A and B are shown apart, each in its own frame.
Chain A
């Protein structure tokens, strides 16, 4: 079974500063990795995903993440944050299968990003 660890429950950062949200996963087989964002009282929105290929993945809103297989990490980064980035961010993992179809997604406990003006 796969699992995801987000060690930082809250990350405060000043506006226009860079930010990194950490995510580590555990799995005995290949995985797909995702980052979702959740704004207050809303559902989750996909920021980016890693399926295969380049380990640096670019997503929406200027976010990017790097898949590091040796360190089993998939940290999310943004070079300059904006007030509107204040939200909760969830890392998620699913097994990489050779065929399409259903793959159970396991979510981390989330990191609240607070951008300070």
Chain B
């Protein structure tokens, strides 16, 4: 399977703990996105990487959140001092390739990491 993978699929943690999620995009994709999805809502944009550069961050991404993509391949999303309000599904998506595709912004999504903060 060469789709987007995320690890872990589920994470239960206590309030105040730090958690880290990993996303492995489709190998030839240079763009990577993180979204948060809460119950009854659509995915909300968190941040975007073009290769290793983090080019945009949402206001939703507080100081407790940090994302990295050190070698332009996999990415990690860390949440420090978790709060109950951080409970959500965290989705990763990737798109793009070596060529710029005008208008072709299809994002391929991973299965998500469901975070529960007790």
Contacts and interface: CB of A to CB of B under 8 A. Distances in A.
A104 B45 contact: yes
Given A43-B109, A94-B105, A103-B105, A110 B100 contact: no
B100 A99 contact: yes
B111 A110 contact: no
Dominant secondary structure of chain A at its interface with chain B: loop
Interface residues of A, number: 32
B40 interface: yes
A73 interface: no
A105 B108 CA distance: 12
Contacts of A43: 4, 91, 93, 109-112
Given A42-B111, A43-B111, A44-B91, A110 B105 contact: no
B42 A90 contact: yes
B114 to A, nearest CB: 8
18 contacts: A4-B42, A9-B40, A41-B111, A41-B112, A43-B109, A43-B111, A44-B91, A44-B93, A51-B103, A52-B103, A94-B105, A98-B102, A99-B102, A100-B101, A102-B56, A105-B105, A107-B42, A109-B40
Interface of B: 4, 31, 40-45, 48, 50, 55-56, 91, 93, 99-112, 114
Interface of A: 4, 9, 32, 34, 36, 41-46, 49, 51-52, 90, 92, 94, 96-110
10 pairs of A and B residues whose beta carbons are closest in the complex: A100-B100, A107-B42, A43-B109, A44-B109, A100-B102, A51-B103, A103-B105, A43-B111, A107-B43, A90-B42
